[in-house]
Amino acid sequence: MSLLYIRRANQLVTLQGNNQKPRIREEMGELGVVEGGSVIIEGPFICYVGTDEGAVEYLSQSRKPVQTIDTEEKIVTPGLIDPHTHLVFAGTREYELEQRLKGRSYMDILQAGGGILSTCKETRLASKKDLYQQSVERLDQFLLHGVTTIEAKSGYGLTIEDEVKQLEVAKELDQKHAMDIISTFMGAHAIPPECKNNSDEYVDMVVNKMIPIVKDAELAEFCDVFCEQGVFSIKQSQYILEAAKRAGLKPKIHADELVAFGGAELAARVGAVTADHLLNISDDGISQLAAAEVIAVLLPGTAFFLREKAANARKLIESGVAVALSTDRNPGSSPTESLPFIMNLACLTMNMTPEEVLTATTMNAAHAISRSTTIGSLEVGKQADLAIFNVPNYQTLQYHYAINHVDTVVKKGKVVVE
């Protein structure tokens, strides 16, 4: 087997450092950049990271054939990680954009049976083959944008069979597609029309029927809830997440997206791995997230697309909350796979620095999906997931915005985009 030698990057962005815990405050600014640095890969793993002189020395001691990729005018980063997507669903909702532009709100559309519920209707009707095919197209787009691992939530089935169907498709995609997919069960994404007048009945089904089945079939690692006014209450969300925890599923929460609802405080109480959205988080919520070491997953693309004010990333970072970023890829509030564009928005609408956005889409995103020991940085022994961008420095990724600068993507040591 030959070695893959990624040679002399203008900037090799390693993210090396203390990666035991998610990075907070100034740590989010430390990228471990090696100028003129090189990486050597053997099979699916990284076996050398550092100066090019060191790489030449390493290669001189090996008899293996070498395949070289020159990156002299480029930068190399860990493969980007997207820790919050709703990947598997059927159909599109471009007509809703038009309605929203005319003044209708996202919540109004949902409460009238549209929004998530219209995607649910289409997803229930779709075959596994159809869902698989539509999701492959999204995964291919993610890869083209430098993303090598994503989290994917269910939540458009809202019946036992249809939730299982979505999760089984995600599992098959994880096995067959180059992308690594970490699954989250999100039966509590909306109240299905059958239970419109009795949401507690649906919550009981999530807790007593769905969670045990998902766990037994090993279909998910996390459990998420859309904790929001008019969707799942604090009490219902807590009940679901406590049950998930007892079953061995790690909690995540869609929190404080549309109103300040106490979702962040709940995330801290249940020891969630992440609290996501947080556009309307309270000051108390911020300090509780910091104290409980819950990672804030911010989704500035969703705020942009729903034309809401983005989350207060600066206040979160300055209060000691670790921040990760994500597309929130879904058909209603964020129909994009461009994590690099989300990084642009994080800079331009949330004042995050170019260093912070890279940390938020690599090491902190790895922590957000419990993968910090295998991905998120370029270190010897880690999985060889890398993105090569055709820019002279990492600042240009944010400066020359809304352009796909991806040149090459390496996943588990194999070139998957070139």
Residue 37 touches which member of Fe ion, ligand NIG, none, C-beta under 5-8 Å by kind? none
Q: Does 114 bind ligand NIG (CB under 6 A)?
A: no
- In the complex with ligand NIG, the residue whose CB is nearer, 107 or 195, is 107
Q: How far is CA 292 from CA 94, 150, 289, 386, in A?
A: 39, 24, 5, 31
Q: Does 301 bind ligand NIG (CB under 6 A)?
A: no
Query: Which of 114, 115, 146, 187 is the binder for ligand NIG (CB under 6 A)?
Result: 115
| 85 alpha carbon, distance to own chain's centre | 6
- In the complex with ligand NIG, the residue whose CB is nearer, 278 or 360, is 278
Q: Quote the CA–CA distance of 76 and 248 in Å, as a whole number.
A: 36
Q: Does 71 bind ligand NIG (CB under 6 A)?
A: no
Residue 363 in tokens: 């090491």
Residue 123 in tokens: 């997803």
Task: Specify which residues 16 forms β-bridges with.
Answer: none
Count of chain residues binding ligand NIG (CB under 6 A): 13
Residue 396 in tokens: 């240009």
Count of CA atoms in the C-beta half-sphere (13 A) of 289: 34
Identify residue 345 by its one-letter amino acid code. Answer: L
| 106 alpha carbon, distance to own chain's centre | 22
Q: Does 224 bind ligand NIG (CB under 6 A)?
A: no
Query: Which of 302, 312, 327, 362 is the binder for ligand NIG (CB under 6 A)?
Result: 302
CB 384 within 8 A of CB 409: no
- In the complex with ligand NIG, the residue whose CB is nearer, 188 or 347, is 188
- In the complex with ligand NIG, the residue whose CB is nearer, 120 or 375, is 120
Task: Say how many Å lie between the first and final Cα of the chain, rounded.
Answer: 20
Q: Quote the CA–CA distance of 53 and 74 in Å, as a whole number.
A: 18
Q: Which of 57, 94, 147, 106 is nearest to 376 (CA)?
A: 147
Residues in contact with Fe ion by CB under 5 A are: 328
333 a known binding residue?
Answer: yes
Q: Does 333 bind ligand NIG (CB under 6 A)?
A: yes
What is the dihedral sign for C-alpha 255, 261, 265, 271?
Answer: negative
Q: What is the CA radius of gyration of the chain?
A: 21
- The stretch near ligand NIG (CB under 6 A) out of 237-245, 327-335, 349-357, 382-390 is 327-335
Residue 329 Cβ, how far from Fe ion at the closest point, in Å?
9
Residue 116 touches which member of Fe ion, ligand NIG, none, C-beta under 5-8 Å by kind? ligand NIG
**What is residue 74's three-state secondary structure?**
coil
Q: Quote the CA–CA distance of 356 and 22 in Å, as a whole number.
A: 12
Residue 119 touches which member of Fe ion, ligand NIG, none, C-beta under 5-8 Å by kind? ligand NIG
375-404 mask for ligand NIG (x: CB under 6 A)? ------------------------------
**What is residue 127's three-state secondary structure?**
coil
- In the complex with ligand NIG, the residue whose CB is nearer, 141 or 373, is 141
Task: Specify which residues 34 forms β-bridges with.
Answer: 12
Residue 192 touches which member of Fe ion, ligand NIG, none, C-beta under 5-8 Å by kind? none
- In the complex with Fe ion, the residue whose CB is nearer, 122 or 385, is 122
Phi, psi of 76 (to 5 degrees): -125, 130
Query: Which of 71, 274, 312, 330 is the binder for ligand NIG (CB under 6 A)?
Result: 330
Query: Which of 40, 69, 116, 323 is the binder for ligand NIG (CB under 6 A)?
Result: 116
Residue 258 Cβ, how far from ligand NIG at the closest point, in Å?
8
106 CB-contact burial (10 Å; exposed 0-12 / middle 13-18 / buried 19+): buried
Residue 326 in tokens: 């994500």
- In the complex with Fe ion, the residue whose CB is nearer, 206 or 416, is 206
Query: Which of 162, 265, 328, 355 is the binder for ligand NIG (CB under 6 A)?
Result: 328
Q: Which of 143, 12, 75 is nearest to 414 (CA)?
A: 143
- In the complex with ligand NIG, the residue whose CB is nearer, 19 or 118, is 118
Interface with ligand NIG by CB under 6 A: which residues?
86, 115-116, 119, 226, 254, 257, 302, 328, 330-333
Binding-site residue positions for N-formimidoyl-L-glutamate: 156, 330, 332
Binding-site residue positions for Zn(2+): 84, 86, 254, 328
Binding-site residue positions: 84, 86, 93, 156, 189, 254, 257, 328, 330, 332-333
